Structure 1
Amino acid sequence: MSTITAVKSCATTSCAYNDGGCTAFAVTIAGTDSATCATFITLDARGGLPVAHGQVGACQRLECMHNSNLMCGAEGIDISDTAACTSYEVR
């Protein structure tokens, strides 16, 4: 894998890293019941990069078809308003 997967969109407006898109340098996709953004945090502040260029740093969902060596190989991912990775697909 030679590229890092971009967070194309994030609808979780209550996340401190969502400021017109994902401003986290890198997010982790995890979750026990469903694939969710483990970087999600609700705070009374906005943080991260000055621009929305978030990317997937790690994927802990081994059964996802896009997971290769704990990295996301999808072209890009979308995060729903409930912090779910909507690009997640079971192998």
Structure 2
Amino acid sequence: MTAIAPVTTCATTACAFNNGGCTAFAVTVGSKPVCQTLAVLDARAGLAEANGQVGACQCIECVHNKDLMCTAESVSFGAEGAPCLSYEVA
């Protein structure tokens, strides 16, 4: 089994899953390298602790993508629009 890439940082503080870090159980990186799990709401949601991880990645041209799974050691997301900062073109 492939190790699941943890979300180590997310600068998108407007996201309901960002509560001192990513609290989504798993996030999806879309075909454009952004977090598709981004939820801009007036609420906080997700796990009790910031243990988010990448569940799927649709960026097939990324060097870290193997069978739609992220093989990066860890993943970081930026602020505006939650871009995947770990994205690298193969």
Normalising by the smaller structure, the TM-score range is: over 0.9
Cα distance between partner residues in 1 of 2:50 and 2:65: 23
Is structure 2 residue 35 aligned with structure 1 residue 20?
no
1:20-77 CA distance string (max 9 Å, x none): 000000000014xx41000001011100000000000000000000000000000000
Distance in 1, matches of 2:20 and 2:76, equals: 14
Q: Could you tell me the TM-score, scaled by structure 1's length? A: 0.94
Q: How many residues align?
A: 89
4+ long deviations beyond 6 Å: none
Matched, 1:66 2:64: yes
Give the strand-richer structure, 1 or 2. 1
2:2–2:71 contact (8 Å) kept in structure 1:
no
Structure 1 counterpart of 2:83: 84
Distance 2:18 2:54 in 1: 14
RMSD of aligned Cα (Å):
0.9
Deviations 1:4-29 (A, max 9, x none): 10001000000000000000000000
CA distance in 1, matches of 2:42, 2:48: 17
Q: Which amino acid aligns with 1:8?
A: T
Displacement of 1:80 after TM fit? 0.2
The percent identity for this pair of structures is: 56
